[in-house]
């Protein structure tokens, strides 16, 4: 208990001198946004930025009533494209740490202090909220086909990248400013495979990755890609691994891995 209090004290003290910005890539999140906003620790977070990817519901109207920055894409550009806007805007606003938190309440906002702790301590430049530490994936309702696909892809990624992560496919992430200013994430895909590409870049450019266990929730309002998009994502992950391996072996460089 004393150790937990000391860690929380470290987060509280350091975060006051560190600009932490939460970014929310939003699409049809009107029903859950306020709940997510209410549970974010405002003593730790300096600013919240929501980027709406041309939602079909009232996400922008709901967000505009909250004390957050709201950016609306006039056209849907995809999940990867949304993240590019999120991170670029956060860097422009002077963020030292950037958190990606989905506004659909699938991931626990209360975990924000835990997400930034390894970056504040200098242990890592990237923190992943893993649904597989503590067995939270199936308990939270993850469909079995997604569970199996996640285990297959994560095992393959660990083998190719030489890592030992419990999960690569979480949507709950924290990045240091140094990391986002180093990797060429603006060259990444506009689609879901952006998430896999940026982690391959992390390994390629030698950044440390930490993980914490997080709970996840699957319910009708939570965003989730359908089966066909899941297949496309899986193929994209394997293709990104092939590009990584070719770049590491100096067989063929691609823009993802050019400084």
Q: Tell me the CATH number at 173.
A: 3.90.550.10
Q: Per this entry, what is the length of the chain?
A: 259
Q: What pLDDT is attached to residue 23?
A: 98
Tokens of 204: 């390629």
Tokens of 174: 């924290």
Domain that residue 91 falls in: 2-257
Q: What pLDDT is attached to residue 178?
A: 98
Q: What pLDDT is attached to residue 137?
A: 67
8 Å CB contact between 170 and 130:
yes
Phi and psi torsions of 69, nearest 5°: -85, 130
- If one counts the domains in the chain, the total is 1
Q: What pLDDT is attached to residue 4?
A: 56
Q: What pLDDT is attached to residue 205?
A: 97
Q: What pLDDT is attached to residue 8?
A: 56
In the predicted model, residues of the chain with pLDDT beneath 70 are 1-16, 135-140, 218-225
Q: What pLDDT is attached to residue 227?
A: 74
DSSP structure string for 201-247: HHHHTT--EEEEE--B---TTS----HHHHHHHHHHHHHHHHHHHHH
Q: What does each C-alpha distance from 125 to 30, 118, 121, 215, 221 come to in angstroms?
A: 31, 8, 10, 22, 31
Tokens of 236: 């994209």
Q: What pLDDT is attached to residue 142?
A: 74
pTM (2 decimals)? 0.90
Question: What is the rounded radius of gyration, in angstroms, for the C-alpha atoms of the chain?
Answer: 17
């Amino acid at each position: 208990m004393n150790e937990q209090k000391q860690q929380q004290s470290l987060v509280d003290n350091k975060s006051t001198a560190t600009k932490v910005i939460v970014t929310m890539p939003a699409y049809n999140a009107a029903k859950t946004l306020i709940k997510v906003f209410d549970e974010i620790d405002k003593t730790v977070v300096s600013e919240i930025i929501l980027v709406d990817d041309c939602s079909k519901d009232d996400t922008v109207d709901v967000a505009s009533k909250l004390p957050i920055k709201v950016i609306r894409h006039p056209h849907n550009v995809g999940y990867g494209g949304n993240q590019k806007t999120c991170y670029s805007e956060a860097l422009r606003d002077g963020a030292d740490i950037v958190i990606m938190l989905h506004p659909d309440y699938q991931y626990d906002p209360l975990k924000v202090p835990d997400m930034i702790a390894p970056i504040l301590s200098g242990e890592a430049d990237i923190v992943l909220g893993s649904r597989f530490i503590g067995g939270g994936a199936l308990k939270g309702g993850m469909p079995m086909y997604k569970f199996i696909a996640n285990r297959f892809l994560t095992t393959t990624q660990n083998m190719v990248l030489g890592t030992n992560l419990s999960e690569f496919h979480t949507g709950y992430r924290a990045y240091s400013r140094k990391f986002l200013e180093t990797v060429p994430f603006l060259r990444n895909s506009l689609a879901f495979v952006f998430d896999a590409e940026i982690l391959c870049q992390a390994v390629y450019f030698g950044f440390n990755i930490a993980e914490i266990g997080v709970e996840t929730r699957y319910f009708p309002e939570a965003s989730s890609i359908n089966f066909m998009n899941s297949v496309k994502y899986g193929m994209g992950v394997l293709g990104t691994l092939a590009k990584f391996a070719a770049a590491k072996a100096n067989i063929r460089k691609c823009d993802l891995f050019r400084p």
